[in-house]
């Protein structure tokens, strides 16, 4: 059996197009141009690439980017000052501080300083609490993208057995909360979990977010399951480097019902969901109804 390969690139392109339609609508009807500030500290090459593609996607969707690139030696006080200024700027509806931050800056303090209404990353403790309590709020982009991908294969996730590998605050935990909200039965696994292969084999929905190249083997996958691979791991292969996921795709594709590739699966959805969160935040701050994306 060969699984359906979930085309994250195409699904993300459709979502971005839908966000662009919503953006045009709020610009035309209300003169509201959603604005996102992206703050990069230092010269991390991967971060620079992410930030550049976020700004490009933002402009394509008709939104206004505010880009800040600060030197690697920036102090925590200086960054907090910028975050506070952006909190007060009414043209800025979303604030994203690209992680990781240099060691002299405490990321937890920076995340907590962002106005929760502008927290398009959904990392602020207030938004994490809202998600855990089933209250409306801004939700982290990567887990949101994972749910949207799973729902392209399964119209309803209700009653499905879901296993989430990984319990980070940015992927595993919020993903588990979103799955609960979809009425799935959720198990969260981590580095201390016993018998991961046996646990994964129970899953109708398997999400891998562990940062371990191709650790999930084909015989961990329940036949017909939906497998969503969040991992982005750079590995060297005969002197060349390439990106692989946390799932052994070549094996999983023979067992699963549907599987995301890496690259081209979850990654493109993360940026598309950032656009969703930005237009949502802008509408929320303007007192407009939530957009239809």
Interface with ligand NAP by CB under 6 A: which residues?
Answer: 142, 165-168, 170-172, 190-193, 196, 209-212, 230-233, 266-267, 270
Cβ proximity to ligand NAP: between 82 and 265 the closer is: 265
Residues 226, 241: Cα–Cα separation, whole Å: 28
Q: How far is the CB of 30 from ligand NAP (least distance, A)?
A: 31
Report, in Å, the least distance between residue 220 CB and ligand NAP: 11
Nearer to ligand NAP by Cβ, of 32 and 221: the residue is: 221
Distance in Å, CB of 263 to ligand NAP, minimum: 9
**159 near 179, Cβ under 8 Å?**
no
Taking the complex as a whole, the smallest distance from the CB of residue 159 to ligand NAP amounts, in Å, to 26
**Min CB(262)–ligand NAP separation in Å:** 8
Q: If phi over 0 gives left and psi between -120 and 50 gives alpha, with beta otherwise, what is residue 50?
A: alpha
- Residue 31: Cβ-neighbour burial (10 angstroms; 0-12, 13-18, 19+): exposed
Q: Residue 93 in contact with residue 285, Cβ under 8 Å? A: yes
Q: Which is nearer to ligand NAP, 258 or 269 (CB)?
A: 269
Choice between 192 and 240, CB closer to ligand NAP: 192
Which residues are catalytically annotated?
54, 98, 121
C-beta closer to ligand NAP: residue 167 or 222: 167
Q: Pairing mode, if any, of strands 64-70 and 161-165?
A: unpaired
Q: Taking the complex as a whole, how short is the minimal distance between the CB of residue 233 and ligand NAP, in angstroms?
A: 5
- Nearer CB in complex with ligand NAP: 180/196: 196
Residue nearest to ligand NAP (CB): 168
């Amino acid at each position: 059996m060969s699984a359906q390969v979930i085309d994250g690139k195409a699904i993300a392109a459709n979502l971005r197009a839908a966000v662009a339609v919503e953006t045009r609508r709020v610009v035309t009807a209300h003169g509201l141009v959603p604005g996102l500030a992206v703050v990069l500290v230092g010269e991390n090459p991967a971060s620079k690439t992410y930030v550049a593609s976020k700004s490009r996607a933002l402009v394509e969707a008709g939104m206004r980017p505010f880009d800040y690139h600060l030197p690697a030696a920036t102090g925590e006080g200086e960054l907090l000052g910028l975050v506070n200024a952006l909190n007060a700027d009414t043209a800025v509806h979303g604030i994203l501080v690209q992680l990781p931050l240099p060691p002299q800056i405490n990321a937890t303090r920076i995340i907590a300083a962002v106005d929760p209404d502008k927290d398009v990353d959904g990392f602020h403790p207030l938004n994490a609490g809202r998600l855990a309590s089933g209250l409306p709020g801004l939700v982290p982009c990567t887990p949101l993208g994972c749910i949207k991908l799973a729902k392209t294969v399964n119209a309803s996730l209700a009653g499905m057995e879901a296993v989430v590998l990984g319990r980070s605050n940015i992927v595993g935990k919020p993903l588990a909360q979103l799955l609960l909200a979809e009425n799935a039965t959720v198990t969260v696994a981590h580095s201390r979990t016993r018998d991961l292969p046996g646990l994964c084999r129970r899953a109708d929905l398997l999400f891998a977010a562990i940062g371990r190249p191709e650790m999930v083997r084909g015989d961990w996958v329940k036949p017909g399951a939906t497998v969503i691979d969040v991992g982005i791991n750079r590995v060297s292969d005969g002197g060349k480097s390439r990106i692989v996921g946390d799932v052994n795709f070549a094996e999983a594709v023979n067992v699963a019902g549907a599987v995301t590739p890496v690259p081209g699966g979850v990654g493109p959805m993360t940026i598309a969901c950032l656009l969703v969160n930005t237009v949502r935040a802008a509408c929320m701050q303007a007192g407009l109804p939530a957009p239809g994306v």
